[in-house]
């Protein structure tokens, strides 16, 4: 039986209830001080608690789609995704850096911890900048590098992008195999006004997050590193909330980013206690931040988009297939659709290698 099936959840709940009832009924008989009685009490308590935790875990997993299968839960889903390109040409349709050792950096690259400052918005946010080994090598001394902003979900931690999702390590392997160009990675959270989830938008009378990412971040990074300055040199990739931000900022600001990757992204900003009122009652602003609405009502921008989902385990499958079908030229869309994969790091680790390869092929040095 599948991990997400209602039968498994029901059986686990019934087992938990049965064990609770057995504990109540058998407790007087197990009240003795013999080793058998003590062992029986311990066994019943452990079994009851385990089934209770399992029931709650299954219920939460079914609600949020963290794991799609037993193999996904146990980390046995390792097959990487395959990028599929879809035709859209149809009618009508101030650094706080880590210690620097450039000699070692020529071989392994370097990871800088920086503070990105937005003078106009007043936003300051930490980030990790990965510089590939080529950045320090003599033959690349005059070269400017393509740059990818890498975003977590909400609330997320920037450290997870290199410690758990392994973006720099994956890039090094892909570059060594000739599948990817050396690229600067700017890894950070989309939550730049914590604890509020701003969904990467300029909130009326609130944090101007969209401006920070599309203008100030790019300017600050370009002032300190050898990055390109045009949209074709810049892309953005993110998971979950970061995926929504990647798509939205690229679709709304093709002058800032030319390409975007959304790993398990969604297409409409939620309104909940973490976001507060994002739109201040402005219905038009809310529609403009709904990506499916934008596709139907606004001219398509000349950008490249990659979206990912899975047939089993993700809640965005229907919206993703709809997004693909609605995409019109000159926007170009590609997809990675897994047979099974939940909303979790293991799924994204399967998608990141082909996604980085795709992104690199759409960014210019």
List the structure tokens of 199.
């969904």
Buried b / exposed e along 323-359 (16+ C-beta atoms within 10 A)? bbebbbeebbbbbbbbebbbbbbbbbbbbbbbbbbbb
Q: Which residue shows structure tokens 């570059």? A: 175
- pTM across the whole model: 0.77
| CA distances for 46 relative to 20, 114, 338, angstroms | 11, 47, 37
One digit per residue, the tens of pLDDT, for the chain of length 365 reads 666 677 877 888 888 888 888 888 877 877 777 888 778 778 888 888 888 877 787 776 665 445 555 555 665 555 555 555 555 554 433 444 444 555 678 888 999 999 999 999 999 999 999 999 999 999 999 999 999 999 999 988 999 999 999 999 999 999 999 999 999 999 999 999 999 999 999 999 999 999 999 999 999 999 999 999 999 999 999 999 999 999 999 999 999 999 999 999 999 999 999 999 999 999 999 999 999 999 999 999 999 999 999 999 899 999 999 999 999 999 999 999 999 988 888 999 999 999 999 999 999 88
């Amino acid at each position: 039986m599948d991990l997400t099936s209602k039968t498994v959840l029901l059986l686990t709940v019934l087992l938990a209830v049965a064990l609770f009832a057995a504990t109540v009924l058998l407790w007087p008989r197990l009240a003795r001080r013999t080793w058998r009685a003590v062992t029986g009490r311990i066994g019943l308590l452990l079994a009851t608690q385990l089934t209770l935790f399992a029931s709650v875990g299954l219920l939460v997993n079914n609600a949020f789609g963290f794991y799609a299968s037993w193999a996904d839960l146990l980390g046995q889903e390792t097959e990487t995704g395959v990028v599929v390109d879809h035709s859209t040409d149809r009618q009508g349709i101030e650094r706080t850096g880590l210690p620097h050792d450039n000699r070692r950096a020529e071989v392994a690259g370097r990871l800088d911890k920086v503070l990105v400052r937005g003078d106009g918005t007043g936003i300051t946010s930490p980030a990790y900048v990965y510089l590939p080994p080529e950045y320090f090598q003599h033959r690349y001394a005059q070269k400017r590098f393509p740059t990818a902003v890498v975003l977590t979900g909400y609330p997320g931690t920037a450290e997870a992008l290199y410690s758990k999702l392994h973006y720099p390590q994956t890039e090094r392997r892909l570059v060594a195999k000739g599948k990817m160009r050396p690229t600067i990675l700017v890894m950070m959270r989309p939550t730049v006004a914590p604890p509020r989830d701003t969904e990467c938008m300029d909130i009326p009378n609130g944090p101007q997050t969209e401006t920070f990412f599309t203008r100030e971040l790019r300017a600050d990074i370009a002032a300190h590193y050898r990055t390109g300055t045009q949209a074709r040199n810049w892309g953005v990739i993110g998971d979950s909330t970061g995926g929504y931000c990647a798509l939205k900022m690229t679709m709304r600001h093709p002058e800032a980013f030319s390409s975007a990757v959304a790993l398990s992204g969604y297409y409409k900003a939620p309104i909940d206690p973490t976001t507060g009122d994002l739109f201040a009652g402005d219905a038009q602003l809310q529609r403009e931040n709904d990506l499916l609405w934008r596709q139907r009502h606004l001219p398509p921008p000349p950008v490249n988009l990659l979206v990912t989902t899975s047939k089993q385990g993700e809640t965005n499958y229907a919206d993703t297939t709809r997004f693909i079908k609605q995409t019109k030229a000159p926007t170009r869309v590609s997809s990675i659709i897994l047979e099974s994969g939940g909303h979790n790091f293991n799924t994204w680790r399967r998608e990141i290698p082909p996604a980085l390869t795709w992104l690199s092929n759409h960014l210019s040095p």
